[in-house]
């Protein structure tokens, strides 16, 4: 009872001393930093390190509870130098966080990842238009292409397998990346938030035995990527010049340019809006396929 009473007194004291002018911004700033760090680490190899650190904390708590002095001494040495260790281990992620804030203007900074819908939709539409124009050129010249449009599932592992670009989209850039003499033409291009984020990326191949035998590596990689994530993957065949779209493990083949544009806009913009509306409805409530062949 004394322990519970002590905890209650501490909680009460914390609330009584709470200053909304200084403590609230302090809490929000710390929460923002932690949120951005988790968002960058999630889906990468560094996430395994985070789980390892969490495991060490659990072990330290058990050791302290059992009064194991030797083990407690060793672990305390680790935690005393935790800040230096974390900086060394997560140097690439810390650099990404700083670069992200450095690239943004004051108007472009979004709190907790909420996007400016008008700017986001405009960027996506411009990128889709650029790619659709490029796909016409690639179809006519029978230039093989493989483009992954990232949605909610983070594709850090895929991006890490290629070359990071993080460039504004353009028809010329799409065409240049898949030009036959380009060093990156054999891999996939990843588009993130309307930017050409990486090129020359390696995608997982589908293991579906029911696929048509004439489907090549690009088509199998597109299906495999769509099976492992919610990404929209577009393929331009090097043999026929025809365009295919893979979503949720399903491949739609021989897609016309106008239809391609409609699919991309629907999946990248309208689907996001529907998901946001569904999330809002859930919060309010809490408060009160197949492969197409030619």
Query: Which pairing describes strands 232-236 and 145-149: parallel, antiparallel, or unpaired?
Result: antiparallel
Strand order in the sheet with 188-192: 163-168, 195-201, 188-192, 145-149, 232-236, 243-247, 250-252
Q: Which helix (H) or strand (E) holds 56?
A: helix 46-65
pLDDT class for 224, splitting at 50, 70, 90? very high
pLDDT tens digits for 162-197? 999 999 999 999 999 999 888 888 899 999 999 999
pLDDT band at 19 (very low <50, low <70, confident <90, very high): confident
Domain regions of the chain by residue span: 11-113, 117-287
Question: Would the pLDDT of 290 be above 70?
Answer: no
| Average pLDDT rounded to a whole number, residues 130-149 | 95
Q: Write the pLDDT tens digit of every residue in 93-115.
A: 666 666 555 544 444 444 444 45
In whole angstroms, what is the distance from residue 99 CA to residue 103 CA?
Answer: 6
pLDDT of residue 156: 86
pTM of the entire predicted model:
0.59
Instruction: Please report the pLDDT score of residue 76 as a whole number.
Output: 82
Question: The tokens of 99 are what?
Answer: 């670069």
Residue 52: both structure tokens together: 């390892």
Tell whether the model's pLDDT for residue 8 goes beyond 80: no
CATH superfamily, domain 117-287, is DNA integrity scanning protein, DisA, N-terminal domain (3.40.1700.10)
């Amino acid at each position: 009872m004394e322990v519970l009473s002590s905890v209650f007194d501490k909680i009460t004291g914390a609330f009584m001393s709470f200053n909304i002018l200084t403590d609230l911004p302090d809490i929000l700033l710390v929460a923002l930093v932690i949120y951005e760090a988790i968002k960058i680490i999630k889906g990468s190899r560094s996430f395994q390190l985070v789980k390892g650190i969490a495991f060490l904390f659990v072990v330290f708590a058990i050791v302290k509870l059992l009064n194991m002095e030797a083990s407690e001494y060793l672990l305390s040495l680790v935690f005393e130098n935790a800040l230096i260790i974390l900086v060394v281990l997560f140097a690439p992620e810390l650099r990404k966080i700083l670069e992200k804030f450095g690239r943004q203007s004051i108007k472009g900074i979004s709190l907790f990842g909420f996007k400016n819908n008008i700017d986001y939709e405009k960027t996506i539409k411009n990128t889709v238009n650029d790619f659709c124009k490029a796909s016409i050129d690639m179809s006519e010249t029978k230039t093989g292409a493989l483009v992954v449009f990232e949605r909610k599932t983070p594709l850090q592992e895929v991006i890490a397998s290629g070359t990071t670009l993080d460039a504004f989209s353009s028809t010329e850039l799409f065409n240049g990346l898949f030009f036959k003499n380009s060093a990156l033409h054999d891999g996939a291009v990843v588009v993130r938030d309307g930017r050409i984020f990486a090129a020359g990326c390696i995608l997982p191949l589908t293991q579906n035995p029911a696929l048509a035998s004439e489907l090549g590596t690009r088509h199998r990689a597109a299906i495999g990527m769509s099976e492992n994530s919610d990404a929209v993957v577009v393929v331009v065949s090097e043999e026929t010049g025809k365009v295919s779209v893979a979503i949720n493990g399903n491949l739609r083949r021989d897609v016309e340019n106008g239809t391609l544009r409609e699919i991309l806009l629907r999946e990248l913009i309208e689907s996001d809006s529907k998901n946001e509306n569904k999330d809002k409805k859930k919060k309010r409530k809490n408060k009160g396929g197949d492969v197409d062949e030619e």
